[in-house]
Structure 1
Amino acid sequence: MSRHIDQQLFSAHEHALDEAEPCPECGSELQLRHGKHGAFWGCSAYPACDYIRPRHQHDGHIVKALGVPCPECGHELVLRQGRYGMFIGCSHFPQCHHIESSDPPKNEQSHDVSCPECHTGHLVERKSRFGKTFWACDQYPKCKFAINSPPVMGQCSACGFPLLVEKKSAAGVTLICAARRCGHLQERESLNC
């Protein structure tokens, strides 16, 4: 006994979870299509109409109003969903570009370490879009100094660079010169002088 499978069940516009909408440019129905960067909505009248839009919106749309005034312009701060996650921004964007992290501030110890490159900023703890912790100058984008390990005040005994980093290993915690070209292992006794 041979069974035939109805191929229309697998067509892109028949997904039960996605509702079709009219194209905002020509009024034809939007269809779910697949490209090398994932699924997207495209006009069914293609190539006459080439309207497309991403399936999932990560354009900084407002999730929730926070009821707190923006420190720069006074308009309300809002929680937004961006490409790399949630963030707090001004509701008056693009006129005001104020942005804050939605994460609570980290330990204040990192603010005491001066930037060895620009000498005006301080190193602050940040997270990359992948969740990795790093320390960067708070004067970014003017100063692009960044390190991947916790900073420690001190001077390298080999090259004189004014910053060390803390590396943890099976042998314990060691201090290494923060200069990329040096990498000298620092002894703890030389720090105390």
Structure 2
Amino acid sequence: MSKIDPTLFSAHAQALEKEYRSCPQCGGELAVRHGKHGAFLGCSSYPACDYIRPLSVQGVTIEKILTGSACPDCGHELAIKKGRYGLFIGCSSYPLCQHVEHAAQPQDETVGCPACQKGVLVARTSRQGKQFYACDRYPACKYILNDKPVAHTCPRCGWPVLIERHGKEGKRFVCPQKLCQYETDL
């Protein structure tokens, strides 16, 4: 049986030391750390120094420039990009301009946000791929619903929105206020 050369395992660490020797903020030593999103480099003087840097480049890649299109914010061309959650359309001059086109989703009706009364509830997709409805004025308004909103006023409590739920009994409309517990088959 042949012995494994221990210098093979230290080569990776030596390469990292040469590449990422010292912290640019405080001059301390950088160390490989592991977080919920993977490995990263962090200053060994933490918490006195909060410098971190990703080990690998996990950014957005441009798939195709859309010639003839213009960003409404800065005027540069738009591009089809591939990001963490799939394909999307954004400005080609990112990070100077952070404009992103949202996919036009057909909605039967627009439902106003009952919390701030300024925004509109729009469909969004979570990291896990589930659909939810939130105010389009986020982060100023953080109102959120897990079920599809319907612009009907609750007759019991007066809340301006009901939610549509599907069950074995069929479609029913429920008040999203927990204390109200109103439910109907409209």
TM-score by length of 2: 0.68
Question: 1:74 Cα shift?
Answer: 1.1
Q: CA RMSD in A?
A: 3.6
Instruction: List per-residue Cα deviations over 1:64-83 (Å, max 9, x = no partner).
Output: 32322112221011234445
| Percentage identity across paired residues of the two chains | 43
Q: Does 2:44 correspond to 1:23?
A: no
Instruction: List per-residue Cα deviations over 1:94-134 (Å, max 9, x = no partner).
Output: 43231123xx422222x522222233322211111221101
Task: Report the equivalent of 1:132.
Answer: 130
Question: 1:176 Cα shift?
Answer: 0.9
Is residue 152–residue 162 contact of structure 2 (8 Å, CA) maintained in 1? yes
**Distance change in 2, residues 1:81/1:9 (3 Å):** same
Alpha-carbon separation, structure 1, partners of 2:179 and 2:128: 26
Is residue 149–residue 165 contact of structure 1 (8 Å, CA) maintained in 2? yes
Task: Report the equivalent of 2:27.
Answer: none
Q: Secondary structure in 2 aligned to 1:13?
A: helix
Q: Secondary structure in 1 aligned to 2:19?
A: coil
Task: Report the equivalent of 1:185.
Answer: 182
1:68-79 map, 5 Å = 68-79=69-80
Question: 1:178 Cα shift?
Answer: 1.9
Is residue 33–residue 41 contact of structure 2 (8 Å, CA) maintained in 1? no
Alpha-carbon separation, structure 1, partners of 2:11 and 2:174: 55
Q: Secondary structure in 2 aligned to 1:158?
A: coil
Task: Report the equivalent of 2:158.
Answer: 160
**Distance change in 2, residues 1:55/1:63 (3 Å):** farther
Structure 1: runs of 5 or more not aligned: 27-32
Task: Report the equivalent of 2:173.
Answer: 175
1:1-193 map, 5 Å = 2-7=1-6, 13=12, 23=19, 35-37=33-35, 38-40=38-40, 53-67=53-67, 68-101=69-102, 104-109=103-108, 111-182=109-180, 184-188=181-185, 191=186
The number of aligned residues is 168
Q: Secondary structure in 1 aligned to 2:150?
A: strand
